[in-house]
């Protein structure tokens, strides 16, 4: 998951501004105030701390300004040297210089989001443990270099290892580079994904076109390979390159803690955007049956396998989640769980949920802004509980969860 600070329109008139970062908004943006009272939204290539004095290039609009931080005049005492040599330029992580205070900054972002969008203060916060490492990384090969994109560009930063990744993936980076240089694998420019299971017993490389290679004795062998996640007594399988949680053990632990605390139960769980069935597997003892729908055909095939293996009573359907007839299918004893992509849910789907008889809705989102927007559109439901998880260490990204009950 990568995002770049918003670029300022080069054609717009810009002026230099300096001042104090008052607070943090969603996405790690800083909020400041101009002398005339107008608010200023600051983006930055690195973490911002409330109280820092910064210099920025600003474009002023009617009611507010947008600025890009160019210099720190008075950095926070909490700022530390990055543990990654590419921490200041790599597009993968933007909170390296926050050190152990990164989780504190992310909590402030969530607090600001909930207060301003949902008028709520209370939520359960789950900071990432220091041992949480990514089991999936995406690399780019341009024909000469293998690495991550530089922040705010498509220029490649050649890397040898990645401190946020599982050690087995870091070690595999150089093996992949060697195979590309020697033309042992397809060497035309493209995106590659390195993935490993839980526990990490093998590394699989997947091209963006879906070709898979197993790393064995320093060589990548083409074939049809599956990644296995053994999590808390259950086993889930998925294909390398398809979606699964980036930090599987931490995701399982944190989701379990929240969803089981919410005492979800009932007749049937509608698992929308269900992937390979993680949430159905987590809640398999709490509902009598399950209805999973997912747009990716490959993920649905693995969801069916996982349902069979775990003896989950349910069906897995490949299709457009927005077209499911929830009004006709749902009863008052059912729960709807949604984990949509970053863009959130369609209005049509949210209207169907509003018209359904489902008593409970669980809304999960990796983008807090669209997550909060969609919650506000569920006008027939009220918020009972909120939670947020740091699933993506060293980045500003946060997973948000809401438990909603029919009014």
DSSP readout, 209-228?
Answer: TS-EEEEETTEEEES--EEE
Do residue 206 and residue 297 come from a single domain? no
Domain, as residue range, for 158: 136-232
CATH of the domain at 52: 2.40.50.140
Q: Does residue 361 sit in the same domain as residue 223?
A: no
Q: Taking the CA of residue 272 as centre, how many other CA atoms within 13 Å lie in the half-sphere pointing to its CB? A: 28
114, 177: one domain: no
Answer yes or no: is 1 within a domain: no
304's tokens: 């069916």
Closest CA to 38 of 66, 10, 7: 66
Specify burial of residue 15 (Cβ count, 10 A radius: 0-12, 13-18, 19+): exposed
Final residue belonging to a domain, choices 186, 204, 232 = 232
- Tell me: pLDDT of 170 over 70: yes
Lowest mean pLDDT among 98-102, 185-189, 315-319, 388-392: 98-102
pLDDT, the chain, mean:
92
Confidence of residue 82 (pLDDT cuts 50, 70, 90): confident
| Inside any domain, residue 105 | yes
Asked if residue 165 and residue 88 are part of one domain, the reply reads no
Residue with tokens 């993935």: 195
Strands (E), 266-330: 266-272, 287-294, 314-318
29 with 113, same domain? yes
Mean predicted confidence (pLDDT) in 91-111: 87
Domain count along the chain: 3
The verdict on 228 and 252 lying in the same domain is no
288 and 388 belong to one structural domain: yes
**Same domain (yes/no): 32, 59:** yes
Note whether 289 and 383 are same-domain residues.
yes
User: What is the pLDDT confidence band of residue 3, given thresholds at 50, 70 and 90?
Assistant: very low
Model confidence at 30: pLDDT above 60: yes
Do residues 102 and 204 both lie within one domain?
no
Answer whether 152's CB lies under 8 Å from 5's CB: yes
Is pLDDT at 66 greater than 60 in this prediction? yes
Is 279 part of a structural domain of the chain? yes
| Residue that is last in its domain, among 174, 208, 232 | 232
According to the model, what pLDDT value does residue 5 have?
A: 43
Query: Would you say residue 355 lies in a domain?
Result: yes
Is residue 161 in a domain? yes
Q: Which residues of 171-181 are buried (b: 16+ CB within 10 A; e: fewer)?
A: bbbebbbebbe
Of 76, 91, 118, the domain-final residue: 118
CB 293 within 8 A of CB 322: no
Same structural domain, 144 and 95: no
Query: Residue 248 belongs to what H/E stretch?
Result: helix 248-261
Q: Give the C-alpha separation, 209 to 190, whole Å.
A: 9
- pLDDT for 163 equals 92
More confident site: 6 or 200: 200
The answer as to whether 9 is a domain residue is no
Residue in the block written with tokens 């989001």:
113
**Same domain assignment for residues 228 and 258:** no
pLDDT on residue 250? 96
Q: Which two tokens stand for residue 85?
A: 């040599």
Q: Is the pLDDT of residue 7 over 80?
A: no
How do residues 268-293 score in pLDDT, each as one tens digit? 999 999 999 999 999 999 999 999 99
For 372, phi and psi rounded to 5 degrees?
A: -65, -40
pLDDT level of residue 2 (50, 70, 90 thresholds): very low
């Amino acid at each position: 998951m990568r995002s770049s600070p918003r670029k300022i329109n080069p054609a717009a008139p810009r002026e230099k501004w300096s001042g104090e970062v008052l607070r943090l908004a969603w996405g790690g943006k800083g909020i400041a105030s101009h002398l005339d009272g107008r608010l200023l939204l600051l983006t930055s290539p690195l973490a911002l701390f409330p109280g820092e004095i910064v210099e920025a290039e600003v474009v002023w609009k009617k009611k507010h300004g947008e600025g890009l931080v160019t210099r720190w005049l008075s950095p926070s005492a909490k700022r530390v040297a990055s543990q990654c040599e590419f921490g200041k330029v790599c597009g993968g992580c933007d909170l390296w210089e926050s050190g152990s205070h990164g989780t504190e900054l992310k909590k402030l972002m969530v607090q600001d989001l909930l207060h301003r969008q949902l008028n709520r203060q209370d939520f359960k916060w789950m900071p990432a443990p220091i041992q949480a490492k990514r089991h999936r990384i995406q690399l780019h090969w341009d024909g000469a270099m293998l690495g991550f994109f530089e922040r705010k560009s498509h220029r490649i930063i050649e890397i040898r290892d990645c401190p946020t990744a599982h050690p087995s993936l870091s070690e595999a980076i150089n093996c992949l580079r060697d195979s590309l240089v020697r033309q042992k694998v397809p060497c035309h420019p493209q995106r590659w994904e390195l993935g490993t299971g839980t526990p990490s017993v093998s590394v699989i490389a997947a091209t963006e076109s879906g070709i898979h290679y197993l790393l064995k004795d320093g060589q990548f062998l083409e074939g049809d390979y599956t990644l296995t996640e053994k999590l808390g007594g259950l086993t889930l399988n998925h294909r390398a390159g398809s979606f699964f949680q980036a930090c599987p053990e931490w995701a399982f632990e944190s989701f379990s803690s929240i969803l089981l605390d919410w005492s979800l139960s009932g007749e049937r769980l509608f698992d929308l955007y269900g992937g390979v069935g993680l949430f159905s597997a987590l809640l398999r003892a709490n509902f009598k049956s399950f209805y999973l729908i997912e747009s990716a055909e490959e993920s649905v095939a693995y969801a069916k396998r996982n349902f069979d293996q775990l003896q989950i009573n349910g069906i897995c359907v490949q299709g457009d989640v927005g077209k499911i007839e929830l009004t006709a299918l749902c009863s008052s004893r059912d729960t709807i769980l949604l984990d949509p992509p970053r863009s959130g849910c369609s209005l049509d789907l949210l209207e169907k949920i509003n018209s359904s008889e489902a008593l409970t809705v669980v809304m999960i989102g990796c983008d807090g802004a669209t997550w909060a927007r969609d919650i506000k559109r569920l006008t027939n439901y009220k918020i009972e509980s909120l939670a947020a998880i740091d699933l993506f260490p060293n980045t500003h990204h946060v997973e948000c969860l809401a438990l909603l009950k029919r009014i």
